[in-house]
Structure 1
Amino acid sequence: MSSLPDLRASFAGSRVLITGGAGFIGANLAHRLAELEAEITIVDSLIPEYGGNLRNLDGLEGRARLNIADVRDEHSMNYLVQGQDYLFNLAGQTSHMDSMRDPYNDLDINCRAQLSILEACRKHNPTIRLVYASTRQIYGKPDYLPVDERHLLHPTDVNGINKMAGEWYHILYNNVYGIQACALRLTNTYGPRMRVKDARQTFLGIWIKQVIEDETVQVWGDGLQIRDFTYVDDCVAALLLAAREPGAAGQIFNLGSDETINLRELAMLLTSIAGTGRVEIIPFPADRKPIDIGDYYADYRLIQGRLGWVPSIRLREGLAHTLAFYRENRAHYW
């Protein structure tokens, strides 16, 4: 993977816009870019349900500018994209269940807002380099494993369909208008600054909270569903490499891991590392079973070959870092 000095040469003094920058991945990216001496503008609506947390920006005072705005506001985006060298487009609605309960809102945030951002770039900054945070959820229930980028897309929920559209708007604007855009399909990203007070971002967040509180972690179904996980520092490295490399424009890349684990074993590992909590296997809730995707793990050889990205943080190490962070900072995330 690229070293810090290599990335500093690309980002030092550059102007960077991060949508959703007070959220989990966006804030970790902002902290890394501050180390790389970039000029950072963070855009976040701070709508409570969507993960923005001002605590995530602690330590960035004087190193990043926060603009509280909604990416659906075309006038704000028209202004904010001007003069920027890079745009990391991480704003979105990520809850699968919320998308099923309120599909119109999910459509508004994950489709219309993406068009607002892209139109702002087309009209006011067509030379910007743009990286879009997509999701493995758009594959739906895999036809084969590991899942590569040629796998058919058949999402199992409204959120997956809208994220799929958002991703392809970016590729379309790359191909038609020359906006240098690419997409990373993220898979179960975890680590410090993630939302843990509920399962809106990922089930692992609420598990971490429950384990630290010495409560019972509930694993649905038989618990044998296989997953892969990406520690947030590895995710941030992939975002930076994708932004830096001109050859990434127009491409779609999977992130993944060298480790796979089933959910029952993951819950046991988490309680083992923490020394607290317990595991219970229960039947699927009725509203969850229809959108479960079974096993999933990614083939990430394309991004490895094109950009040199490989995950570097092992699952046990990443979980230990994450648990330590929340034990120290629980007051700001519970």
Structure 2
Amino acid sequence: MNPTPAFRRAFRGRRVVITGGLGFIGSNLAARLVGLGAKVTLIDSLIPEYGGNLRNIAAIRRQVTVNISDVRNNHALPHLLRGQDFLFNLAGQTSHLDSMTEPDTDLEINCRAQLALLEVCRRHNPGIRVVFASTRQIYGRPRYLPVDEKHPLQPVDVNGINKLAGEQYHLLYSAVHGIRSSVLRLTNTIGPHMRVKDARQTFVGTWIRQALAGETFEVWGGQQLRDFTYVDDAVEAFLLAATRPEAVGHVFNLGGRGKINLADLAAMLVKEAGSGRAKVRAYPADRRKIDIGDFYADGSLIARRLGWRPRTTIRQALARTVAYYRTELPHYL
């Protein structure tokens, strides 16, 4: 079933705010919402380390409102959230390594700011519909595979702990204060607009940058299994979570279509790029401490409840992402 007509009815003329809206997933979500007729406001701090890039909205710049603001700015949030119908809450610090070296910053963005944002909703816009972007990282090292939503939660880094607190705040405010919220636990999301200048968002971005430059890129370990979600598929999950009443108060895994080990993923990338070389090496000691090993998600719950299934294969996702950066790479360096 094509969900687009239902999405158009739900979003046409409605006011939507996206935190982290100039980032990877936020900007792709914004473009889809503009196409559905929504009135979109993007909130983003444009702090260089966090992935926001005005190039991400080049095609829709005249059709969205951009507010350069930090989610830690409690004074601006009431003005920005009053009268909004939907909030897609994607703002966050994503680097696992940075969270271990600068834990206070991660705490402020991924934990305290989330609570403050929900308090603004409770006080100024209790009818808003909220979808929060969480992460597979909160599961820690899998005890069994595929990982479903009943898996124990045992994060291996500060980022995972703070993201877990952020999602729990959303679920609590949904249950106690009636702020209708849903949580999506994202796996490795890839696609156009992803951060490629470094590995703060995902290692695949740096691989793509180096492969297109004809460079050798490192694959740590190589045998770890992963699943990957293409950004268009993730966007559809956000829209479903925002519009389906059965999603309120619930957590859903997003998984990819199939799984692959990292050495094979690297070989696939080199083939798609037509350049570059992958070199497998031992895992660095500082990263091994927070590596989760094999991970791939069980997405059967969101399939049953909301009808979401990933449509894009890993090879298709890589090919589309490489094609985008083949022409756009200079704008992301």
Q: TM-score, normalised by structure 2?
A: 0.99
Structure 1 position 257, deviation (Å): 1.9
Structure 1 runs not aligned, ≥5 long: none
Amino acid corresponding to residue 235 of structure 1 in structure 2? A
| 8 A contact 1:196–1:208 mirrored in 2 | yes
Structure 1 position 107, deviation (Å): 0.2
Per the alignment, residue 260 of structure 1 pairs with 259
Per the alignment, residue 203 of structure 1 pairs with 203
Per the alignment, residue 287 of structure 2 pairs with 288
| 8 A contact 1:45–1:52 mirrored in 2 | yes
Amino acid corresponding to residue 263 of structure 1 in structure 2? L
Per the alignment, residue 317 of structure 1 pairs with 316
Structure 1 Cα separation of the partners of residues 254 and 61 of structure 2: 31
Structure 2 Cα separation of the partners of residues 61 and 142 of structure 1: 41
Aligned structure 1 segments of 4 or more residues deviating by more than 3 angstroms:
none
1:218 aligns with 2:218: yes
Report 1:142-221 matches (<5 A): 142-221=142-221
Amino acid corresponding to residue 201 of structure 2 in structure 1? Q
Report 1:1-334 matches (<5 A): 2-221=2-221, 223-334=222-333
Structure 1 position 307, deviation (Å): 0.6
Q: Secondary structure at the match of 1:170?
A: helix
Structure 2 Cα separation of the partners of residues 258 and 218 of structure 1: 25
Structure 1 position 146, deviation (Å): 0.3
What's the RMSD between the two structures over aligned residues? 0.8
Structure 2 runs not aligned, ≥5 long: none
Structure 2 Cα separation of the partners of residues 6 and 180 of structure 1: 19
Q: TM-score, normalised by structure 1?
A: 0.99
Structure 2 Cα separation of the partners of residues 68 and 106 of structure 1: 20
Deviations, residues 41-76 of structure 1 (Å, cap 9, x unaligned): 000010000001010110112211001111111111
| 8 A contact 1:185–1:253 mirrored in 2 | yes
Structure 1 position 232, deviation (Å): 0.2
| 8 A contact 1:73–1:116 mirrored in 2 | no
Structure 1 position 247, deviation (Å): 1.5
